[in-house]
Structure 1
Amino acid sequence: MRISVPATSANLGPGFDSLGLAISLYNQVVIRPSKFHSVSLRGEGSNNPMLKDNNMFIAIFNDFYFNLAKKKRNFRFEFTNEVPLSRGLGSSSAVIVSAIASAYAIEGVKLEKEKLLNLALAYENHPDNITPAVMGGFNVASVQDNEVKSIRKELPRFLKAVVVIPNRPISTQLARKALPFKYSKEDTIFNIAHSSLLTAAFMTENWEMLKTASKDIVHQKYRMKQMPELFDVQKTALNNGALMSTLSGSGSTLFSLCYKEDSQRIESSLKKRFPHFRVLTRNFDNSGVRIED
């Protein structure tokens, strides 16, 4: 069995812990029956032996598989990772979603995406990454009574994602600690208004509104101060035609959305100015988690 899960970019500026979308950059795992347990790892994280020995995917998979099958079996897990670790592109969500989905698939138990999403919530208590990882596309999500409520919108092929992946991470824990303990009423209203406008812009495909709607004053500036180059990355992307440019999750990746015809210029400008960072242009993913027997 082969399972793939896309990278995700969460928050999208003002949509703190509630907005996210899926990008065509994938973590994939092939699972085969085996006489003994074994793991192979290629791509992102392959130079880290701890990922083989202390693998979150296998721990979650084994828990769900045992609960479903009421027995233990050995498998060979072959991981091919494209999603960078600890860079704000949803690598942990990809692991959680793929582990749960594959345990059900191996045992032949049908799992609706809505149920998968709520099972994943137990491991990732914010829905902004796990929802697009499961559903694909652009998603608005909130949690009520320990259940994810979400609305999805497909993204057209004439839009592209340009991601700038720095050569070092921003700690999610430290990034949250950098945020103010309290916010003023004015700042709160600003973000509610812009998050609402951003959602409306995606849903009505008013792409020219994104630059205004994606403004945020609640979290980005505090997090980006930990890596000041990101302010210049954002400015460079916007000056070269990006429709929006936001910190991806808690960073350190900077995500930009643009028209297809502008993507090469934006990518080239970013590569020239930030040669020590990785710059990738990708389509958006509208499928979410996929399983092939």
Structure 2
Amino acid sequence: MKILVPATSANLGPGFDALGLAVKLYNVVNIQEAKFSSVSISGEGSDNISLKRNNLFISVFNEIFKELVSSSANFRMVFENNIPFSRGLGSSSAVIISAIASAYAMAGFKVDKHTILNKALIYENHPDNITPAVFGGFISAIVSNNVVHFSKSEISDDIRAVVVIPDKPMNTNQSREILPKSYTLKECVNNISHAAFLATCFLQKKYDMLRLASFDMLHEDRRMVALPELFDVRKIAYENAALMSCLSGSGSTFLNIVYKNDAINLKTKLSNKFQNFKVEIFDFDNDGFKLLQS
């Protein structure tokens, strides 16, 4: 079998740990039963020999598979890692979702997306990343009693993601340590109101209002200080027709949303200015992970 899981962008400005979306950049895993277990990796992490032993996918897969069938088995696993590590594009969520879903499939169980999503909470407690990885689209999500509850809106083909991926990673845990332990009432009210408004903009496809809706006061500017070039990314994006421009997850990637006719121009401007950064245009993913017969 083959599984494809999309990259995700979480927070989206004011929607801290609550809002996220999926883009058409996929990690791909091929799995087949074998006499001996083996691992092959291409793309991200291919030069890291230890990943073949200390691999999050394999540990989660084996744990879930054994839980389902009360035994272990040997598999050949071939990883095509296209989602960058530690860049705020949901690489760990993609690994966890693909491991759980493929364990269910290889154990002969129906792969129910709601089951996969709630199993993923054991390993990743950020619903803004795991939910769009499972279901695609734009997601507003909460967790109550260890269950993810969410609202999904499909994203129009009229818009694109122009993604700026710096050559420097940002560790999520370290990035959270930068943030204060308490916030002012003004900061909290700003983010509650803007996150609510941002969600309605996606749900009603009022994309022209995204710039206003995406203003954050809790985390973005504080995190961007670690990589000051990101302030210029946002400035240039807004000068070149970006509908919104925000830190992707905890960074270092920056997500810019534009109408599709403006995407190439924005990519060109950003590529010319930030030659050490990778700039890509992606469609949005409205489906979430896909299981295929390989």
Which bin holds the TM-score, normalised by the shorter protein? Answer: over 0.9
Specify the alignment match of 2:205 in structure 1. Answer: 205
Q: Residue 231 of structure 2 corresponds to which residue in structure 1?
A: 231
Kept in 1: contact 2:127–2:142 (CA 8 A)? yes
Paired residues of 2:156 and 2:205 also in contact (CA < 8 A): no
Q: Which amino acid aligns with 1:123?
A: Y
| Distance apart, 1:229 and its partner CA | 0.5
Alignment match, 1:215 = 215
Q: Which residue of 1 aligns with 2:284?
A: 284
Q: Secondary structure at the match of 2:227?
A: coil
Q: Deviations over 1:67-118 (max 9, x none)?
A: 1122211000000011000100000000000000000011121132111111
Residue equivalent to 1:191: 191
- Partner of 1:104, secondary structure, is helix
The answer to whether the aligner puts 1:51 opposite 2:61 as a matched pair is no
Q: 2:45 & 2:224 partners in 1: Cα distance?
A: 24
Q: Following the alignment from structure 2 to structure 1, what is the Cα–Cα distance between the partners of residues 181 and 190?
A: 17
Between the two proteins, the alignment pairs up a number of residues equal to 293
CA RMSD of aligned residues (A): 0.7
SS in 2 for 1:216: coil
- Secondary structure at 2:198's aligned position in 1? helix
Question: Which of 8-17 and 106-115 deviates more?
Answer: 106-115
Structure 2: stretches of 5+ with no match in the other structure: none
SS of match in other structure, 1:117:
helix
The corresponding residue for 2:272 is 272
TM-score, length-scaled by structure 1: 0.99
TM-score (structure 2 length as normaliser): 0.98
Residue 163 of structure 2 corresponds to which residue in structure 1? 163
Of all paired residues, the percent bearing the same amino acid is 52
Structure 1 stretches of 4+ moved >3 Å:
none
Q: How does 1:121-160 map to 2 (within 5 A)?
A: 121-160=121-160
Correspondence 1:230-269 to 2 at 5 A: 230-269=230-269
Aligned residue number for residue 36 of structure 1: 36
Name the aligned partner's letter for residue 238 of structure 1: Y
Aligned residue for 2:223, secondary structure, equals helix
- The whole-number CA distance in structure 1 between the counterparts of 2:171 and 2:86 is 7
Residues 16-46 of structure 1: per-residue CA shift (max 9 Å, x gap):
0000000000000000111111000011111
Equivalent position amino acid for 2:155 in 1: L
2:121 counterpart of 1:114: no
Residue deviations 1:147-172, cap 9 Å, x none?
Answer: 10101011111210111000011121
Whole-angstrom CA distance in 1 between matches of 2:266 and 2:158: 15
After TM superposition, give the deviation of residue 173 of structure 1 in Å: 1.4
Task: Name the amino acid aligned to 1:256.
Answer: N
SS at match of 2:268: helix
Deviations for 1:248-288, whole angstroms, at most 9, x for unmatched residues? 00000000111000000000000000000000001000110
Q: C-alpha separation between the residues in 2 aligned to 1:160 and 1:228?
A: 25
Determine the structure 2 residue equivalent to 1:21: 21
* Alpha-carbon distance in 2 for matches of 1:228, 1:50: 32
Distance 1:96 1:113 in 2: 13
Equivalent position amino acid for 2:96 in 1 = I
The residue type paired with residue 157 of structure 1 is: D
